[in-house]
Amino acid sequence: MPDTPSAPVLLGDQPGSFPHSVLAERHPAIIRQVREAFPYEPWQHRALDELLANCTKGEIEPLPADAHDRDLWETWGLREYAGRSWFDVPWLWSESWFYRRLLQAVGYFGPGPWQGIDPFRPFKRDELDSHETDEELAALDDLAGRPAGDVAQALLHGSLWGNRADLGFRLSAEGARAADAAPGLVADDSDRLWALLGGTGTGTLCLVADNAGRELVPDLLLIAHLLAHGRVGRAVLHVKPYPYYVSDATTADVVDALRRLTGAGGTAAEYGQRLWSALADGRLTLRAHPFSCAPLPYEEMPGDLRADFASATLTVVKGDLNYRRLVGDRLWAPTTPFPDVTAYFPGAVAALRTLKSDVITGLDARTEAELVAAEDQRWRTSGTHALIQVRTPG
Ligand SMILES: O=P(O)(O)OC[C@@]1(O)O[C@H](CO)[C@@H](O)[C@@H]1O
């Protein structure tokens, strides 16, 4: 990284810190909610009990010899971290390990009758079927007659603020209340983003998705608009290969979202049909790369994923977790330049994220001072602020 001193990697070992609260409180709450949402069998209840004890008080255990992904996890750090407390290894690693272990506990990886049953599906479905989603889709009809540039900007903001609808965040928030209405962009490179999507109609957009439901729907609408208006010729949507961080989007969630759009009537259905056709004729493709659920920063991405991003006109990276992985899950000084910490990225990259963890880069000193004066450090994790940051190579 050019002249950028490094910063400490976030661990979950400090009581009172946000990472510690995720490991000590959020994870047990997620186990409880998943258990209540499914008519699980005795072996699954036992496995969930064991996971609850292990993730709060135990040590990281090796995977069984026959686990399908044992080699992968060993290269991702399991060999080094086995035997250590969940609280003493990188926080990003512990969190990813939690979702891997939760899926194992409920039989997701099989073989058996529970193979492939997404433990977060009831929460995702509720959100997709909600009245709020109805309202957001109906609002598209009002946008229909507006100039294309205005529609594009509205859809970009829909995709950005859709990131606030993160179920892991809300399931464990006290009383699952909605975040306070105090939005504010702390960095806005949207002009540079639009300059990259200039409209020759030949470029490729990679969009690295985050949450399903009320985030994925506006992501899809944005892709549909960019394709329809020739701002890009192709789009590649990266989703997770298995359920992750409660609401992260998988292929099944893309299918649900598209069916929701096409069934909604009005303008929403037109967008849905366009995306359906784009999938059929290859202008829109899906990827579910194993590294999308890796407990590692993107700087360590494998060659095939690197090549994918390198061939894109722009890669849009959505959400808080992806931001942590993009810039490195470290306690950076907030004014650390975003282009410096993403210099390794193979091509132009844009981050669209609401702030829900301590990691932040690319602020100007004045913005940081104003945020601290108004909210102490709460702005980092409250989900009420957002950013659009862009780095172009060269
Ligand atoms: O990536 P997303 O959906 O925007 O947010 C994920 C999140 O809720 O999970 C982590 C804590 O578990 C934090 O990084 C962040 O708050």
Q: How many CB atoms lie within 10 A of CB 123?
A: 22
The answer on pLDDT for 179 being more than 70 is: no
How many Å separate Cα 308 from the centre of its chain?
18
Q: Which residues contact 382 (CB under 8 A, 6 or more apart)?
A: 179, 180, 355, 356, 375
pLDDT at 6: 86
The answer on pLDDT for 112 being more than 90 is: yes
CA distances from 326 to 110, 240, 346 (A): 32, 16, 12
The answer on pLDDT for 115 being more than 50 is: yes
Taking the CA of residue 26 as reference, the ligand 1 atom at the shortest distance is: 12
Distance CA(97)–CA(116), nearest Å, equals 18
Taking the CA of residue 248 as reference, the ligand 1 atom at the shortest distance is: 3
How does pLDDT run across 13-25, given as a tens digit for each residue?
999 999 999 999 9
Q: Is 44 in the pocket of ligand 1 (CB under 6 A)?
A: no
Q: Which residues contact 366 (CB under 8 A, 6 or more apart)?
A: none
The residue among 146 and 275 whose pLDDT is bigger is 275
Q: Is 356 in the pocket of ligand 1 (CB under 6 A)?
A: yes
- Structural contact between residues 11 and 91, judged by C-beta atoms closer than 8 angstroms: yes
The answer on pLDDT for 169 being more than 90 is: no
pLDDT at 153: 92
Mean pLDDT, rounded, of the chain: 93
Rounded mean pLDDT of 279-298?
A: 98
Q: Is 358 in the pocket of ligand 1 (CB under 6 A)?
A: no
Q: Where are the alpha helices (DSSP H) in 2-130?
A: 18-21, 27-37, 42-57, 70-73, 79-81, 91-105, 121-128
Distance 169 CA to ligand 1 centre (A): 6
Taking the CA of residue 322 as reference, the ligand 1 atom at the shortest distance is: 1
How does pLDDT run across 243-273, given as a tens digit for each residue?
999 999 999 999 999 999 999 999 999 999 9
The answer on pLDDT for 1 being more than 70 is: no
Delineate the domains of the chain, giving CATH numbers in brackets.
Answer: 18-119 (no CATH), 123-391 (3.40.50.10880)
pLDDT at 171: 42
Highest mean pLDDT among 86-95, 180-189, 378-387 belongs to: 86-95
Supply the pTM of this predicted model. Answer: 0.95
- Read off the pLDDT band of 167 (50, 70, 90): low
The answer on pLDDT for 180 being more than 70 is: no
Q: For residue 175, what are its two tokens?
A: 């009383």
pLDDT at 164: 86
How does pLDDT run across 195-208, given as a tens digit for each residue?
999 867 789 999 99
Rounded mean pLDDT of 91-120?
A: 98
How does pLDDT run across 43-76, given as a tens digit for each residue?
999 999 999 999 999 999 999 999 999 999 999 9
